[in-house]
Amino acid sequence: MIDTIMLFAAGFGNRMRHLTENSPKTLIPVLGKPILHHALELCKSYPFKRVVINTHYLHAQVKKSIKSFQKNNPNFPEIIIIYEEELLETGGAIKNAQEYLGSNPIFTLNTDIILKSKYNVFELMINRWNAAEMDFLLLMQPYKKAVGYSGHGDFDLDKEGNLLRPDKQGNYDYMYAGLQILNPLKVAKHPLKIFSLREYYLNSEMVRGIPVKGARWYHATSPEDLVEIEMDMLAHNDQ
């Protein structure tokens, strides 16, 4: 059983412009609740024992917000906050947090997304995970159904869940939805201090994808996205 999840909360959020001059992106409110708190609420749908959160930009604000969440959710799992003196990117953040992540597979979750699903996405992914066949399992969202996303997809998937990687300019049916299972020991062996997990997505044969089911997926990229996201969430009676 996977009992640890790491939340990525260290970024600047430069595309949010004035909204992140004095506040980290992860604390921007959506329907009155910081995006980070939406991620923490999602974590409550699975029996994690440990939640690891990396921080960098305006660390003190993020830490204070996490403490506030813990106060209001006394039964929430243990939270470990790791301050990065410099941005390490996603791969470097995993490597830096290795002592808290252990040797078993873990989940990671981006904190600039909000996921609302009729299914338990954690259980969906665990049922697909096979450590003998994969080091990474990515939750994939059809990009045309994503709210707040202006790209043209990251990958296609074959029937077995293998990633069909970009080899030309064009559109791809799926985008990475910001939630994955990974082998932290694989990442810890990377020779660099600062690196992105995307290196593995593009080059490793031990990467699989699984489409999200029955979900609405929101990506907070710009101030304009926030308006669209809140309108859609209100239409679905979200909180």
pLDDT per residue as tens digits for the range 1-25 = 899 999 999 988 877 878 888 999 9
User: Is 66 a residue whose pLDDT tops 80?
Assistant: yes
Instruction: Round the average pLDDT of the chain to a whole number and report it.
Output: 93
In this prediction, residues 22-30 reach a mean pLDDT of: 94
Cα separation, 19 vs 104, in Å, equals 37
- What's the one-letter identity of residue 92? G
Rounded mean pLDDT of 28-42? 96
Residue 117 CA to residue 84 CA, distance in Å, equals 32
**The predicted structure's pLDDT at residue 110:** 97
pLDDT at 114 > cutoff 90: yes
Residue, of 15 and 36, whose pLDDT is higher: 36
What is the pLDDT at residue 17?
A: 74
Over 90: is that where the pLDDT of 88 sits? yes
Query: What residue segments make up the domains of the chain, in order of their start?
Result: 4-235
pLDDT tops 90 at residue 143: no
For the chain, give the percent of residues with pLDDT over 90.
75
Rounded to an integer, the average pLDDT of 201-220 is: 92
* 166 HSE (CA, 13 A, CB side): 16
Which one is predicted more confidently, 11 or 100? 100
pTM: 0.95
Residue type, 207: V
pLDDT digits (tens, 9 = 90+) for 46-63: 999 999 999 999 999 999
Whether the pLDDT of residue 41 is over 90: the answer is yes
**pLDDT for res 169:** 61
Query: 153-194, pLDDT tens digit by residue?
Result: 889 998 889 888 766 666 789 999 999 999 999 999 999 999
- pLDDT of amino acid 154: 87
CATH class belonging to 4-235: alpha beta
pLDDT at residue 201 in the model:
95
Q: Are 128 and 208 in contact (CB under 8 A)?
A: yes
Q: Residue 149: what pLDDT? A: 84
The gap between the terminal CA atoms of the chain, to the nearest Å, is 30
Mean pLDDT of the 30-52 span: 97
